[in-house]
Structure 1
Amino acid sequence: MENSQIIEYLQKLDKSVYVHASNLLKKFSDWDTLSAKQKIALPKIGTEYVNYLINNNKLKGYSDKIIIERTKLLNNYFDFHDNKFKNYFTSQGKFRSTILEEFMFILFNDLIEEVRSKIENSEEKLKLGSKKAYTNLFFSGADFYSFVETPQIGIHQKDQDFAIYRPISISIGKSKSINTNLPIVSIENKTYIDKTMLEGSIATAEKIKSGNPYSLFFVVTERYAVDLNIDPVYSKIDQIYVLRKDNKKNTTNPVFPDVLIDLIQEVNNHLNRNWSDVENKLNISGKII
Structure 2
Amino acid sequence: MELPKPHYSKLVAAINNSKTPISSKRKLEETIEVYEKWIQDMLSVDGTKEEKTEKLVNLFNNYKFFIDYNLIFLSEDDFLYRQKGQLKLDNTVIEEFLPHLVSKVFDNLNNVEFGPTKCFSSAYFQTSLRNFTNNGGIAIRSKDQDFAIARKLYLKSSFDPSFNNSDSVTTFLGYVTAECKTNLDKTMFQEATATSHDVKSAMPGSKYFLLCEWLDMTPISTAPTDIDEVLILRKAKRISSNIRKDFDSVSARREKKDWYENFLKTNPFDKGVFLRFVQHIESVIDNDDPVENNVLNDGFF
Fold shared per TM-score above 0.5: yes
> What's 2:154 paired with?
169
> What's 1:17 paired with?
4
- SS at 2:167 equivalent: coil
> Percent same amino acid at aligned positions?
26
Task: Tell me: higher relative CO, structure 1 or 2? Use CA pairs within 8 A at least 6 residues apart.
Answer: 2
Question: Following the alignment from structure 2 to structure 1, what is the Cα–Cα distance between the partners of residues 294 and 120?
Answer: 29
CA radius of gyration, larger in: 2
Give the Å deviation of 1:189.
Answer: 0.9
* CA deviation vs aligned residue, 1:98-142 (integer Å, no higher than 9, x gap): 1000011111112343133xxxxxxxx32222110001111222x
Q: Runs of 5+ in structure 1 lacking a partner?
A: 1-12, 117-124
Question: Following the alignment from structure 1 to structure 2, what is the Cα–Cα distance between the partners of residues 220 and 104?
Answer: 11
Q: TM-score, normalised by structure 1?
A: 0.82
Question: Following the alignment from structure 1 to structure 2, what is the Cα–Cα distance between the partners of residues 149 and 176?
Answer: 7
Partner AA of 1:109 in structure 2: S
Q: Is the 8 A contact 1:195 1:226 kept in 2?
A: yes
The verdict on how the C-alpha distance between 1:139 and 1:282 changes in structure 2, with shifts beyond 3 A counting, is farther
Give the Å deviation of 1:192.
Answer: 1.5
The verdict on how the C-alpha distance between 1:167 and 1:149 changes in structure 2, with shifts beyond 3 A counting, is closer
RMSD of aligned residue pairs (Cα, Å): 2.5
Give the Å deviation of 1:33.
Answer: 4.1
Q: Runs of 5+ in structure 2 lacking a partner?
A: 74-79, 159-164, 241-262
What is the 5 A alignment of 1:60-139? 60=46, 63-86=49-72, 88=80, 89-116=83-110, 125-139=111-125
* CA deviation vs aligned residue, 1:243-287 (integer Å, no higher than 9, x gap): 11123346531101011011112201210122x449679746666
- Residues matched between the structures, number: 263
Question: Following the alignment from structure 1 to structure 2, what is the Cα–Cα distance between the partners of residues 148 and 32?
Answer: 49
Q: Is the 8 A contact 1:192 1:249 kept in 2?
A: no
Question: Following the alignment from structure 1 to structure 2, what is the Cα–Cα distance between the partners of residues 183 and 262?
Answer: 19
Q: TM-score, normalised by structure 2?
A: 0.79
Question: Following the alignment from structure 1 to structure 2, what is the Cα–Cα distance between the partners of residues 76 and 180?
Answer: 36
Question: Following the alignment from structure 2 to structure 1, what is the Cα–Cα distance between the partners of residues 95 and 30?
Answer: 21
Give the Å deviation of 1:239.
Answer: 1.1
* CA deviation vs aligned residue, 1:126-175 (integer Å, no higher than 9, x gap): 2222110001111222x552279843221110001111111011011144
